[in-house]
Amino acid sequence: MLDRKDHSHPKTLREYLRLFFTGLAIGSADLVPGVSGGTMAFILGVYEDLLNGIKSFNLNAVRLALSFRIKELLEQLPLRFLIALGLGIGTAVLTLANVLSATLADDTGRIYLFAFFFGLVVASIVAIGGKVKWSVMTAAPLVIGAVVAFVIVNLAPVSADPTPLNLFIAGAIAICAMILPGISGSFILLIMGHYDNVLNAVSNRDFVTVAIVAAGCVLGIVIFSRILSWLLQRYYQPTVAALIGFMIGSLWKVWPWKECVASDLDRHGELRCLQEVNLLPQDGTQIAIGLGLLLVGFLLVCFLDHLQSGSNPLFSLFWRRVQAPAEP
């Protein structure tokens, strides 16, 4: 397995704050179509802890709760970990939904936002890929994961009525993507025709719609977390390679410079892009700022990964060069 620390039992204020800001990063990423909160969880070292925490809500936990055996229930559930992380995610969703929505609506703002996240994803690929034992058994899942993600991110959005059943199903499917590095839960909502519905519900505090989507998320994440956890326990290296493949395939969607080639009007009468093509940048100012933000995102993830693992490939190489004795 890759070297990692257990963050499921925070004790100090620093550990709680770390989990809160990790949750803030996860929630912020999941609000942007094409960017995965799972990538943030993976690179910030809480991915497996999150899966295990979700898995702890099982039939035994229900039995303990119904019998009011609270002490045993609290011993089984990593509540401190989940609450700290959940508060960060919730804070991001409630405070940044309007800001990100406005940024995505502005063409220039969208370019800069995606440039930053493009750097985050590339750095995540480098950081995690440098710790995998590469062979035919890991290269094959990498290619398969990249192809699957590429196909998914190139699907065109469809129109869907925001009925309770449709919203419930959308939540169940989107949450699976949210915990997969490289595949965005927001983009899954977009191609299923419910991204605007959910974002507007959050922005307008429509708690009925939010509750329906959340119920679907609960069902989806309970089932899918167990599948992922089983794969990580038995086929760790190939599974991590496949997750890296998902991130590689998703880069096509995160590329900042695009042109809309097919659009329609959404249910609010506003223009919605259905299909985009990637372009090479032309504006010198946009190129300079975009590349700068890309580099900031790249270095930020490399730095956070090195703080987490102490073995980021780029930082480790730099440190070895610094420590190497000067040639006579």
Segment 177-214, tens digit of pLDDT: 777 776 767 778 877 878 778 877 877 788 888 899 99
Residues in the chain: 328
Give the residue carrying structure tokens 């790249």. 298
Sorting pLDDT into bands at 50, 70 and 90, what band is 3?
Answer: very low
Coil/strand/helix, residue 58: coil
Q: For the ranges 54-63, 180-189, 251-260, 310-319, which has the lowest average pLDDT? A: 310-319
77 Cβ partners below 8 Å, 6+ apart? 53, 56, 57, 61
Within 106-206, where are the H helices? 107-129, 136-153, 164-178, 185-191, 195-203
Q: Measured between alpha carbons, how far is 42 from 279 in angstroms, rounded to an integer?
A: 29
Q: How far is CA 166 from the centre of its chain?
A: 23
Amino acid, single-letter form, for residue 206: D
| pLDDT at position 147 over 50 | yes
Pairing of strands 271-278, 258-265: antiparallel
| pLDDT at position 1 over 50 | no
* Nearest CA among 156, 180, 173, 191 for reference residue 246: 180
Model confidence over 88-121: pLDDT tens digits? 998 988 888 778 777 877 888 889 988 988 888 8
Model confidence over 263-312: pLDDT tens digits? 766 556 666 676 788 888 888 899 999 999 999 988 887 887 777 666 67
Strand positions, DSSP E, the chain? 258-265, 271-278
* Nearest CA among 87, 50, 21 for reference residue 228: 50
Burial class (CB in 10 A: 0-12, 13-18, 19+), 328: exposed
Q: Measured between alpha carbons, how far is 87 from 77 in angstroms, rounded to an integer?
A: 16
Q: How far is CA 264 from the centre of its chain?
A: 28
pLDDT number for residue 33 = 64
pLDDT number for residue 290 = 92
**Assigned token pair, 186:** 């927001």
One DSSP character per residue, 105-117 reads: HSHHHHHHHHHHH
Task: Give me the chain's average pLDDT, please.
Answer: 82
| pLDDT at position 35 over 80 | no
What residues are paired with 276 via a beta bridge?
Answer: 260
Sorting pLDDT into bands at 50, 70 and 90, what band is 320?
Answer: low
Q: Measured between alpha carbons, how far is 295 from 314 in angstroms, rounded to an integer?
A: 13
Helices (H) and strands (E) in the chain, counts: 15, 2
Burial class (CB in 10 A: 0-12, 13-18, 19+), 266: middle
The predicted model scores a pTM of: 0.75
How large is the average pLDDT for residues 44-54? 84
